[in-house]
Amino acid sequence: MRAVEVVLPAKHRWEEMQNQSLWYTLVWTERGSLKRCHLKAGEKRTTLWVRRGETVVFCAYPLGIFSPAGGAVLPGGAPLVLLTEQEGVLCRLLQESTTLNSDALGRLAYPHLLREALAKGDDLSLLDANRLQKDLVNGELSSSSIHMREPLSVVIATIPQGYWVGERSFSPSFWSYWGGEGIPLALGEGLHCFWNREDSLLLRIFVDLKEGASFVSVQKGPLW
């Protein structure tokens, strides 16, 4: 085992609005399983003991459920990992794969995979997750495993008026007004959340790129 320092260097967009720190659930891989610990509000770094001879992938989930920040350390690499929003989508995908084939992930050259993915697009929610996971689990990972899909066009209408702030930088914030024609958004795969601070509401948009479908709901906003 070896000690690794895990750091969240940037503030979440909602933290900046609220001027209040979020708490996080930190998740990391270990031999085909997932380990977890709690980071209190304002706790932006921690030291963990991880296995020395394998790649370890980390995700830090704001309030335990929202889009994570991510990063990874390599066997024998520097004992420091800076978790970023941009890497969160990729790291969550890799963590989902580890229970299927821990050996493939344990030997993964993560920096090379990240560079290949970013060379094809900045928004990693557009990754074809099924193709990447299939090739990773089967030990066939290559450049052709990384394919970006087109975002889905979603028009948001009939939601309460106000200013809605996306949790990710690739989920743009917007104003909604009564009687408006709707807000056009271009979104990648998965769940996208927008917070209306003034009315304490949460807009949830789930996107299925394969089916070309989206599902929209509004609920009470997060409390922390």
Q: For residue 56, with 0-12 CB atoms within 10 Å meaning exposed, 13-18 middle and 19 or more buried, which class applies? A: buried
Which residue carries 């690794």 as its tokens? 4
Residues 116 and 71 in one domain: yes
Question: How far is Cα 136 from Cα 142, in angstroms, rounded to an integer?
Answer: 9
The model carries a pTM of 0.93
Give residue-wise pLDDT tens across range 141-154.
888 999 999 999 99
Among 120, 145, 170, which residue terminates a domain?
145
Residues 22 and 120 in one domain: yes
Question: How far is Cα 59 from Cα 36, in angstroms, rounded to an integer?
Answer: 10
Residues 117 and 199 in one domain: no
Q: For residue 148, with 0-12 CB atoms within 10 Å meaning exposed, 13-18 middle and 19 or more buried, which class applies? A: middle
Number of domains in the chain: 2
Sign of CA dihedral 9, 92, 163, 20: negative
Give residue-wise pLDDT tens across range 59-108.
999 999 999 999 999 998 899 999 999 999 999 999 988 877 777 787 88
β-strands 190-196, 213-220 pairing: unpaired
Residues 170 and 123 in one domain: no
Mean pLDDT by 10 residues, the chain (224 residues): 96 91 96 93 96 94 97 92 96 88 80 95 93 89 92 93 93 87 93 95 96 96 86
Question: How far is Cα 74 from Cα 55, in angstroms, rounded to an integer?
Answer: 4
Domain that includes residue 213, residue range = 152-220
List the structure tokens of 137. 């689990």
Q: For residue 212, with 0-12 CB atoms within 10 Å meaning exposed, 13-18 middle and 19 or more buried, which class applies? A: exposed
Per-residue pLDDT, 100: 75
Residues 127 and 156 in one domain: no
Among 145, 161, 193, which residue terminates a domain?
145
